[in-house]
Structure 1
Amino acid sequence: MAWNLPVVITNVGTDWPARVEWCDRSGLRLEILKARYGHALAPVVGKSIEYGDESRDDVAVATYLDWLASGLAEADQLYLKDWHFTRDFPKDAIYTTPKYFADDWLNWWWDQKAATLPATSVGLDDYRFVYLGPRGSFTPLHHDVFQSYSWSINMTGQKEWLLFPPSETPKLLDKFGRVVLSNFQEIDPVRFPRAHTAKHLRVLQPPGAALFVPSGWYHQVTNTATTLSINHNWFNAYNLPLIWAYFQEQLLAVEREIEHCR
């Protein structure tokens, strides 16, 4: 964390209920998930070209599991993501935050806020997520919210990560220096003339491997098989200065945009 570099830690979460009860050697135990959580609603997105532009609908988990089993989810590239499982099922301890990532100020703050509000409060959120997607489902190139850290552990399946250090970000911008490339595997050389020169890391993440994604690292993620993962966004003393700098940059950008209104 002090060096703000990615790390892979093996043999993590192999005894979690999310691994032992939800999965077996053949993959997901769909009927178990459907029986326990099929009534819940979770966000499902369609195939996206740019980060954040995808269609998003709340779908019953049972319905999505049927799509996954029938092949429809893969055919239409439907991805269940950003499911606030811990928020929705606080009594179901399906995992424990690994000790390496336990100093989490962001989710601690949300927990303190939640303790003072009714359970039905609108906007009661955290930054703990379950992701479930078929082979080929994809998250375009982006950095994490607020320049936070993130960690990800697959319960089953495999992800391919492309990770770009902050020093390479200028190469990912278009020729006007404004828009970031969305898909490193489909580069328009006229619009993004320097993108192909961007140095990056490629990581294949199997089940039981925790990937630490540092602040400000752009990354692109593809599920190479049907994959269920647990993910957190978070920050602590190491990256708080980077987050503060990011908020200041965003404030200045807003002020520039509304300057003509003063």
Structure 2
Amino acid sequence: MQLQAIPRVHSITKKEFVRDYVKPQKPVVIEHLVDDWDAYEKWRLSYIKEVAGDKEVPLYDDRPVKHDEGFNQAHATMSMSDYIDLLKKGPTNYRIFLYNLMKEVPSLKNDFKFPKIGLRLLKQIPMLFFGGEGSKVFMHHDIDWANILHFHFEGRKQCVLFPPSETPNLYKVPYSLITREDINFDNPDYKKFPKLKKAKGFICHLNHGETLYMPEGYWHYMKYETPGFSMSLRALPRNFSNLRKALYNVFYMRHYDNFMRRRKGQDWIDEKNKKALL
């Protein structure tokens, strides 16, 4: 794969952000966007354990998709307190994915602000993501083709991105939001997946308090290099064509996929994975 470093800026104005990154749909890391948030000082794993330790949280690991699992169905549950203890003990595959902790702990909303940076951010769904050392988030793109601001807290996280134009080189699984799950994006098998050699993408390593902008429909693969967590804020796609794709995903694609899983079972999953190799 051909990966270039995602550009970094110390800070940025609304005009610069829209002109240089949103309109041309290019990713960027903003290093000091959240320095004035209370979260910048407070949001550590120990703080989350203090304010949300009693909450039962959904956990995901890296097992392949199964036909009898629903959309984003959790693989296990655990109290947040026990989960954070698990993260601090050492490497673990268990992650928290797309979790609206703010709904259960509203006080967390007081720790951050919605940046006035040129995106109409949706205020109902600030989502949190947690992972332990070595845990990975498979290569995927989001169902709503949103513009995403991804804020990282505690530790270090690797992010690999590909624009939608690279989809033909990524072995996308039909009627899904993922690539083949047996691709190791840290060390690709080019004999099995030769098209990956052509894929042109981006890479960065996020540290505490840094913000990654991911444009509409960008593929992303995340790896937690240390225990940590992130928050995403999102804005609907500005491009009408991308908005149509989002509506297709939400109102047709995922329902058709679920229908076919019920009808054909594991054969449907296997059939899709074979087609992804073509």
Question: Which range, TM-score by smaller chain?
Answer: 0.7 to 0.9
Q: Structure 1 9/56 Cα, relative in aligned 2: closer, same or farther at 3 Å? A: same
Misfit runs of 4+, over 6 Å: 50-54, 249-255
Deviations 1:203-254 (A, max 9, x none): 1112222111011211111111122211123315x24541213434787768
Residue number in structure 1 paired with 2:114? 97
Residue number in structure 2 paired with 1:129? 127
Q: Structure 1 56/89 Cα, relative in aligned 2: closer, same or farther at 3 Å? A: same
Counterpart AA for 1:233: R
Answer yes or no: is 1:79 the counterpart of 2:80.
Answer: no
* Fraction of identical pairs, as percent: 22
Answer yes or no: is 1:66 the counterpart of 2:85.
Answer: yes
Q: Structure 1 16/170 Cα, relative in aligned 2: closer, same or farther at 3 Å? A: same
8 Å CA contact 1:144, 1:233 repeated in 2: no
TM-score calculated relative to the size of structure 2: 0.70
Which runs of 5 or more residues in structure 2 are unaligned? 1-21, 261-278
> Aligned ranges for residues 9-88 of structure 1 at < 5 Å?
9-23=30-44, 28=45, 30=46, 32-49=47-64, 56-71=75-90, 74=91, 76-88=92-104
Residue number in structure 1 paired with 2:268? none
Residue number in structure 2 paired with 1:121? none
Residue number in structure 2 paired with 1:5? 26
Q: Structure 1 48/150 Cα, relative in aligned 2: closer, same or farther at 3 Å? A: farther
> Deviation at 1:95?
1.2
Structural RMSD (CA)? 3.3
Paired residue secondary structure (1:243): helix
8 Å CA contact 1:162, 1:219 repeated in 2: yes
Q: Structure 1 132/246 Cα, relative in aligned 2: closer, same or farther at 3 Å? A: closer
**Distance in 2, Cα, partners of 1:193 & 1:60:** 42
8 Å CA contact 2:58, 2:74 repeated in 1: no
Residue number in structure 2 paired with 1:144? 142
Q: Structure 1 186/146 Cα, relative in aligned 2: closer, same or farther at 3 Å? A: same
8 Å CA contact 1:139, 1:221 repeated in 2: yes
Farther off after superposition, 34-43 or 212-221: 34-43
> Deviation at 1:186?
4.3
Deviations 1:125-150 (A, max 9, x none): x3x21222122111010111221222
Q: Structure 1 169/158 Cα, relative in aligned 2: closer, same or farther at 3 Å? A: same
Which runs of 5 or more residues in structure 1 are unaligned? 112-125
**Distance in 2, Cα, partners of 1:250 & 1:84:** 19
Answer yes or no: is 1:230 the counterpart of 2:231.
Answer: yes
TM-score calculated relative to the size of structure 1: 0.74
Paired residue secondary structure (2:111): coil
Q: How many residues align?
A: 229
> Deviation at 1:11?
0.6
Q: Structure 1 58/240 Cα, relative in aligned 2: closer, same or farther at 3 Å? A: farther
